Structures are given as structure tokens and as C-alpha cells.
Amino acid sequence: MTVRPIRLFGDPVLRTPADHVTTFDAALRELVQDLEDTVREPGRAGVAAPQIGVGLRVFSYNVGGRVGHVVNPVLSDFAGEQTDEEGCLSLPGMGFETRRSESVVCHGFDQHGEPLVIEGAGFLARALQHETDHLDGRLYIDTLTGDVRRQALRELRRVVPR
């Protein structure tokens, strides 16, 4: 079991789009195991490979007691809207009301290269969107607008060392 340390805001890997996985080999299976071990820590709903310093399009999730992973995810069929407080392991101690789609379909592959489809609603949809954003070099604070965005940026200036 390997629980990997989480990269924090300011680390360039969090702002760099991740590369597509092209080889489904033992190294990928080891990465997936590390991601799943890391997401099993209490209070964690998802961990993307860039958050542990690996620039590949892979994430793990832990929602409703279901732990899984997706390689090369592509989201589609966005429907509805939900707004709830969202946080991020890479921005510890922060949380802001964030709009996301209420439901989404995630297409991708498992660690062996087999296709998979996850239909997510509610919190699972939020987690799938949040983790896929990480793979594109985006953080949830990038989705904020108006007063909530201004508040988040003020908080970032307060907590992030210069």
C-alpha cells in the first residue's frame, strides 16, 4: 500500500495538461494502485495523477464506498445543474460554492485497457468533473465567478506563501 503525498497549489504539475495514457502496462497498474490507496484516506473523494506528481490522464475516486479509477476520461451528456461547496486536496482548508452539472457520463478505460462507462449523478458527477478538470490543468477555483471567485482569490493570497 502506497499513499502518495498530494501536490499543493503553486506546483506547476497542477496547471499542466496531463498526457494521454498510451501503454497499459505494469507501471500504469502501479500508478492506479497508488491512486486508489491515496484516495482511500479518510475525507477523500478523488485524486488525479497530477496531484501526486504524475502527468498522465488517470484519476481515482471514492464516492459512496465505491473506489475506482478511470484512464483517459472523456465526459459527455452533461445535464442539469447543482451548486454545493467544493474543496480540493491541493488547496487544503478551502471550500467554495461551485456550480457543476447534476449528471454526467464518463467514458474511459480501466488499468488493463478495457473500456468503461460511468454514469454519475449528484456527488459522483461532481467528483468526475473535478478530477477530469485536474487532468486538463484546471482547479475548481478556475470555475468560480463573481463574488465567490473574488473571495476565493482573496483566500488564496492569504494562505499561499509568497
The residue among 103 and 158 whose pLDDT is bigger is: 103
Share of the chain above pLDDT 90, in %: 93
Catalytic residue among 30, 86, 102, 131: 131
Q: What is the CATH number assigned to the segment(s) 12-159?
A: 3.90.45.10
Q: Average per-residue pLDDT in the chain?
A: 95
Using the predicted structure, report yes or no on whether residue 134 has a pLDDT greater than 70. yes
Annotate 80-135 with DSSP letters as a single string: S-EEEEEE-TTSTT-EEEEEE-SEEEEEEE-TTS-EEEEEEETHHHHHHHHHHHHH
8 Å CB contact between 36 and 71: no
- 114: CB partners within 8 A, 6+ apart: none
Is 106 part of any known ligand binding site? Answer: no
Is 69 part of any known ligand binding site? Answer: no
Identify the band that residue 141 occupies on the pLDDT scale cut at 50, 70 and 90.
Answer: very high
Q: What is the pLDDT of residues 6-20, one digit of tens each?
A: 999 999 999 999 999
Q: What pTM did the predictor assign? A: 0.94
